[in-house]
């Protein structure tokens, strides 16, 4: 076993924490999907579940077919009431995503498992009592030794976890901390051992999830931006992690609908600014057409003082009570291949759609395949252009699998996957970032 993945938290029927601690959700249930990236050999994996005190709750061995993926839901290896984390070890390269459901499916969110942690992790968006939204996050020790964790909040408050054991995770809920209400801020997590962080944004009717950042980048790509699209809108919160103010221009490129345009805002040092939302609703600080339907991608194309940036992209449909978040992509870490561990077509009314963007500097052809299916996609993409595909009615009824997209000619790709149940009345909308291979 040489490869490791860290799922920042897995929560099943979490009844032991007060409702006010974690927000408006009283019961959390989760599952995860693991994809074998080796197309020639089966992967032997071991899934270890850790309680928050570091003891092992369960350990399960399994095999994933070459190029295939396995779903783990419900989590039969641990009892109801389990509150902890997961480490997946494998003899082949694998990737995984976690799905979290609240109140028996009334809320939903998704996040990507960490391949490795870092001794410093940045959390750009936290909230307490902000228009009904609160956040909470888990910090998982991905190192080999126990460690103390320090959390420094942007309002000067601090918190921490002591003696966090390898593989274990601790929970920090902002609703139980002493921030001024309403509060919107950020945090920096530090530890002597590497850690991974997953953040949950809990609103009155919606649930969002994103992963903490280990570093910023002067250039970012956001693979999917919606505006005036069947009730869906997008807000991109871009944070300046540097010590100087910077003027940032974001260029929007349509993939399905809309007109190319730009938005320019100043982001003060250590602070953040909201992009996309007002550009497409009012046209402010942009060349975008107010009220126009837009479905496409976005890219930071100017950063006046070259500051490191990170971005959280929130997608929301207020009238349908559906919302989800993903992380902006650092193009310097992009490769010619992205993998997506969970793809669905009419699976208990869930289906997926993805947006794969060319983050490179030259045109490339992108080819996509789906596990257990003969369906393929191929499209030529200019720099900044995205391939958008919806899998509903395209694979097979009940299909649950994975997908891989590869760029020719040394291209570089980034992407995100939407999971949607359009029949369910609640927040049955989840989003995760595609993984570079």
Please give the chain's pLDDT, 437 residues, in tens: 556 666 666 654 433 344 444 557 888 999 999 999 999 999 999 999 999 999 999 999 999 999 999 999 999 999 988 999 999 999 999 999 999 999 988 999 999 999 889 999 999 899 999 989 999 999 999 999 999 999 999 899 999 999 999 999 999 999 999 999 899 888 999 999 999 999 999 999 999 999 999 999 999 999 999 999 999 999 999 989 999 999 999 999 998 899 999 999 999 998 888 899 999 999 999 999 999 999 999 999 999 999 999 999 999 998 888 999 999 999 999 999 999 999 999 999 999 999 999 999 899 999 999 999 999 999 999 998 989 999 999 999 999 999 999 999 778 999 999 999 988 888 999 999 999 99
Name the domain count of the chain: 3
As a whole number of angstroms, the distance between CA 275 and CA 235 comes to 6
Same domain for 47 and 187, yes or no, is: yes
Q: What is the domain-level CATH number for residue 225? A: 2.60.290
Q: Are 226 and 295 in contact (CB under 8 A)?
A: yes
| Same-domain pairing of 123 and 80 | yes
End position of a domain, from candidates 272, 296, 327 = 327
> Are residues 347 and 321 both part of a single domain?
no
Give yes or no: residues 164 and 41 share one domain: yes
Q: Which of 194, 214, 234 is the last residue of a domain?
A: 214
pLDDT of residue 318: 85
The verdict on 405 and 422 lying in the same domain is yes
Do both 80 and 176 map to the same domain?
Answer: yes
Boundaries of domain holding 48: 1-214
Residues 100, 432: contact at Cβ < 8 Å? no
- Whether residues 3 and 122 share a domain: the answer is yes
Contact criterion met (CB below 8 Å) for 266 and 246: yes
Domain end position, chosen among 214, 238, 261: 214
Whether residues 153 and 256 fall in one domain: no
Cβ-proximal residues to 1 (8 Å cutoff; 6+ apart), any chain: 44, 46, 89, 90, 91
Residues in the chain: 437
Same domain as 59, residue 203? yes
- Domain with residue 432: its CATH number is 2.60.290.11
Looking at the structure, do residues 205 and 295 belong to the same domain, yes or no? no
């Amino acid at each position: 076993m040489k490869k490791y993945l860290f799922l920042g938290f897995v929560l099943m029927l979490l009844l032991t924490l007060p409702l006010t601690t974690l927000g408006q959700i009283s019961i959390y249930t989760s599952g995860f999907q693991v994809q074998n990236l080796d197309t020639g050999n089966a992967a032997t994996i071991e899934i270890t579940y850790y309680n928050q005190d570091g003891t092992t709750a369960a350990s399960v061995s399994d095999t994933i077919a070459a190029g295939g993926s396995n779903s783990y839901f419900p989590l039969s290896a641990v009892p109801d009431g389990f509150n902890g984390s997961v480490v997946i070890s494998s003899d082949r390269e694998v990737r995984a995503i976690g799905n979290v459901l609240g109140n028996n499916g009334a809320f939903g969110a998704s996040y990507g498992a960490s391949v490795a942690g870092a001794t410093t992790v940045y959390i750009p968006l936290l909230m307490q009592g902000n228009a009904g939204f609160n956040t909470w996050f888990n910090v998982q020790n991905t190192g080999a030794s126990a460690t103390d964790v320090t959390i420094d909040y942007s309002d000067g408050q601090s918190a921490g976890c002591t003696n966090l054991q390898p593989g274990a995770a601790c929970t920090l809920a902002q609703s139980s901390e002493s921030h001024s209400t309403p509060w919107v801020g950020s945090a920096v997590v530090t530890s002597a051992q590497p850690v991974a962080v997953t953040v949950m944004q809990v609103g009155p009717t919606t649930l969002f999830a994103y992963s903490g950042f280990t570093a910023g980048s002067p250039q970012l790509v956001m693979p999917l931006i919606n505006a005036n699209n069947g009730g869906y809108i997008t807000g991109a919160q871009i944070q300046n992690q540097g010590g100087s103010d910077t003027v940032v221009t974001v260029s929007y490129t349509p993939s399905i609908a809309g007109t190319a345009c730009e938005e320019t805002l100043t982001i003060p040092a250590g602070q953040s600014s909201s992009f996309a939302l007002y550009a497409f609703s009012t046209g402010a600080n942009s060349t975008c057409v107010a009220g126009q339907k837009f479905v496409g991608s976005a890219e930071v194309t100017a950063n006046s003082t070259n500051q490191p940036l990170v971005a959280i992209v929130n997608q929301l449909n207020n009238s349908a009570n559906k919302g989800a978040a993903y992380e902006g992509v650092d193009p310097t870490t992009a490769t010619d291949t992205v993998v997506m561990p969970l793809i669905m077509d009419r699976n208990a009314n869930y289906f997926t759609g993805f947006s794969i963007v060319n983050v490179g500097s030259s045109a490339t052809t992108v080819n996509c395949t789906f596990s257990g299916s003969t369906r393929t996609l191929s499209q030529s993409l200019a720099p900044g252009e995205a391939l958008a595909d919806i899998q509903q009615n395209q694979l097979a009824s009940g299909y649950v699998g994975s997908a891989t997209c590869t760029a020719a000619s040394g291209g570089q790709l980034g992407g995100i996957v939407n999971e949607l149940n359009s029949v369910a009345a609640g927040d049955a909308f989840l989003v995760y970032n595609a993984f570079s291979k």
